[in-house]
Amino acid sequence: MGIEAVLARIAEIESALAPRQAQPPAGSAFSSVLASQTAAPTALAATASPIAAAATAPAAYGASPGLRALQIAAGEIGVTEQPPGSNDGPRIAQYRQAVAGAGVGPWCAYFVSWAAREAGVPLGEAGQGFGAVAALWDWAQRTGRAIPASAGPPQPGDLIVWDGVHVGIVERVDAQGNIHTIEGNSSNMVTRRVHDSTGDGATGYVRLG
């Protein structure tokens, strides 16, 4: 056998022994999974929550002012007073900086004022923020931002007000109509709460824009 024939035979043997990459049959479950991995991004975006949409959007979150404030507020969940019951703490002191003339005291309005300022929509005619919930609601009524609770369910990012006593920010309304919120100065911390469809007697909502 000549050298050329020997080399050709070796090449045939190596080709036969080389491992082959298996290809999934068309229509198999695995090929369906592969296809789903290359689905257009818009298919994923359609199922995203308002908060997720804000989190993944471009500069300034690309969302409404209310959703920007909501995303910022969500990032503060777990902040607590130090010590408990003091209305104070290093992070709470940061919230007070959003309100002109603020001092240590009940801080739910400080918290939403801070979140709104960080979102680029400071509260008040001069962006001064509010330490008193009643003053915040009065401003909302004067400027056409106030929505009575009887007008229907709120939108994510709306502030939710209870008389002149307390304020939080709406995170979502679930399928049963319950209103999920993020509230500062609730049990001495920033935390999530769930209220019934009336907001447990809420006065109304403030739309940030």
pLDDT digits (tens, 9 = 90+) for 112-136: 999 999 999 999 999 999 999 999 9
Structure-block tokens of residue 161: 């007000």
Whole-model pTM: value is: 0.72
Collapse the DSSP code of 185 into the 3-class scheme (helix H, G, I; strand E, B; otherwise coil) and give the result. Answer: strand
**Strands across the sheet with 146-148, in order?**
146-148, 204-206, 159-162, 166-173, 179-186, 189-195
Q: What is the DSSP letter of 89?
A: -
Structure-block tokens of residue 132: 């008193």
- Residue 24 is predicted with a pLDDT of 40
Residues 10-56: tens digit of each pLDDT = 556 555 544 443 444 444 332 332 233 333 333 323 333 444 444 33
| Residue 63 near residue 50 (C-beta atoms within 8 A) | yes
Residues 168-182: tens digit of each pLDDT = 999 999 999 999 999
- Residue 3 is predicted with a pLDDT of 52
Residue-averaged pLDDT of the chain? 81
Are β-strands 179-186 and 166-173 bridged in parallel, bridged antiparallel, or unpaired?
antiparallel
Collapse the DSSP code of 153 into the 3-class scheme (helix H, G, I; strand E, B; otherwise coil) and give the result. Answer: coil
Distance CA 174, CA 52 (A): 16
CA atoms within 13 A on the CB side of 91: 17
Which residues sit opposite 160 in a β-bridge? 168, 205
Query: Burial level of 169, CB count in 10 A (0-12/13-18/19+)?
Result: buried
Distance CA 110, CA 117 (A): 10
pLDDT grade, residue 152 (50/70/90)? confident
Distance CA 129, CA 107 (A): 12
| Residue 107 near residue 118 (C-beta atoms within 8 A) | no
